[in-house]
Structure 1
Amino acid sequence: LGPVGPGKATSQGVLLHSLVAAAWPATDPDPAAKRPALPLLGLLDQQFHVRQPVPAAEKAHPHGGSRPRQGRVRASGLWANSRRAVGQPPAGTRWVVVADRGADIYEHLQQCQAQGLGFVVRAAQDRALVAGAAKTPAGRLFVLARAQPSAGTCTLALRGRPRQPAREVVLQVSFSGPVALRAPQRPGGATGKGEPVPASVVRVWEDTGPEAAPGLEWLLLSDQPVTDFTQALPCVRQYTSRWLIEDFHKALKTGLGAEKLQLQTAARLFAAVALLSVVALALVDLREKSRLEPDLPAEAAGLTNTELRVLRHQSRRPLDTVRAVFLALAGLGGHLGRKGDGPPGWQTRWLGRRTLRLLVEGVNRAAQFLDD
């Protein structure tokens, strides 16, 4: 489905754009919690995209290729497709699009508000700001956000990355709002004539000192008014929930091996990924519950009654909580659960889930055999 390999010249492949729905707590989450427990509702939308190479004529265009590229399928159009698939929220409910810098697109933010969707998006563009009906220039987004003093602090548990161990950091939080984001300045008769997008800005950063390496910094755009620290903190906590989509893709690729299927047609690959996505989402949901609400009853783990009975018989333990079910599944996948062992990985979790499925299939076949 395209050249894949090391290097920019051979790294083309099929990209996956997923939209996962989670329920935000009806009441304000516990400020002392590292991250609120979010039950996953399902997979709202999933699209496949193959990046097209930029033609030479577009690169050589005097206006930077803004006109010729309008006819080319671009990754930014995936957000428009997702919005159409989601539709408008029902009366009395609020849907919030939480996304990384790839969603910092003027048309996307504008259409979210027109469609009744909220957003918490990490800013990627140092956009120009305007004020009033005359659209008077009012500075730049990044300069304004970084000029605001800290209004408070929050603690965040950062996950480990290559050469960066997991750690807890104390983050400063400031806010600016409301602001009006100017429409993009593009060649053509409609340049800059679009309506400004009203938004609030929340800055989150790690104060590392002048001599240390730059720390974490997020500049978040929100459709909600932010006038004090208590209104800024939910924006920060909502953005941290974006890690759910990263965990979902990690479970899909690392755990279930979606990249190793070696299917040779797009139709077969897309069908296989769609099926595996349901399983990956269930694995993420179980991991979330075991981590954030470990004392929930075992029936909340998402297993059928037969699966739960077989797992209890196999592990020879009562398994009364979600955490106990999670560890028992990991044990089926080979996790030893010793004191020095880390948490089970995605491959171990998937192997345990698959082993349980085989055991249940054997029980069902044995029951049919006895009936016959």
Structure 2
Amino acid sequence: MTTHLDATTAADVSVSAEELGVPAARRRSAVLEESIRKDPGRFRVLTGDRPTGRLHLGHYFGTLHNRVRLQELGVETMVVIADYQVLTDRDVADRLTEHVADLVLDYLAIGIDPDRSTIFAHSAIPALNQLLVPFLSLISVAELNRNPTVKEEISQSRQSSVSGLMFTYPVHQAADILFCKANLVPVGQDQLPHLEVTRTIARRFNRRYGDGGATLFPVPEALLSAAPLLLGTDGAKMSKSRGNAITLAASADETARLIRGAKTDPGRHITYEPATRPEVSSLVLLAALCLGRDPHLVAQDIGGRGAAALKSLVTEAVNEYLAPVRLRRTQLAEDRGYVRQVLRDGNERANAIAETTLDEVRAAMSTAY
């Protein structure tokens, strides 16, 4: 695995901030997908999760499946377990070791290969975290305050006060992305403002500390996924914290119970109409994703047989689809030493990258004493 990506690699595919609106990002993503197919080795991806609980089907079809796809195409993939970002959630932080181990198990079970992808913990990479101070100097409080994703995080935190850690979350994310000089970040459209902070920091650092036009950091691009929106069993967004999700580690019986209790609507005839029948359509979509079929055809096959038939089909499809993932997860869980070793190896590789980058940052800033 390479530990340094030439900054010019991404420079020739970067776009300006003004072009990073959702329609433009979708067009650009199509171009990037073609570039990935032609030459996957020119890209490095940074992606990851906060360790707040076991991953679920929304995560799988939203992001995890895409990570494995990129890995299989030959894209170098860095997967960060963003443990520092849960320090604002005291109830979660108290079980951090357990949650981190669960994430590694989920990653390995769904096909992330530690020989081809690097799984690492944010807190284990000191040089990465040292980038936070110079990066904070490049972004204003007003710019952070305007970030809509930060506002949403704060509103959902249900806390009486906001910590500096939560407020500077986009800058932490910038350090995660730029320490390894990732030039591609798979995101949903709601995460574009976060990525724009990273892009802004990269451009400002290069302008302020670049020597003779040289750029230290690539300006990373968004790879917008066409990820389907799966609702939780209560009809709201699927979420670890709401208890409405089917986790990858759930047993077949638990999955059946959760799907039986899933919210639908009074209409007996099953159709796929996400705008007007969101709960029913989400179940139809889940079955379609697991079966590899068009959701309209899945709905058509069920027709007038109603919600019971739909839930029966979804249960069977999900359990069959997840059976190999669950089997592998169970086998991996029996060897916790291997799971810990995967994380130690990933941390070692990420540390080597971060230390190289920090040395370059110090040289650029004239702080290499």
Query: For the superposition of Structure 1 and Structure 2, which TM-score range results when normalised by the shorter chain?
Result: under 0.3
Which structure's relative contact order is higher, taking Cα pairs within 8 Å and 6+ residues apart? 2
Higher helix share goes to which structure? 2
- Structure label with greater radius of gyration: 1
Give the TM-score taking structure 1 as reference length: 0.22
Higher strand share goes to which structure? 1
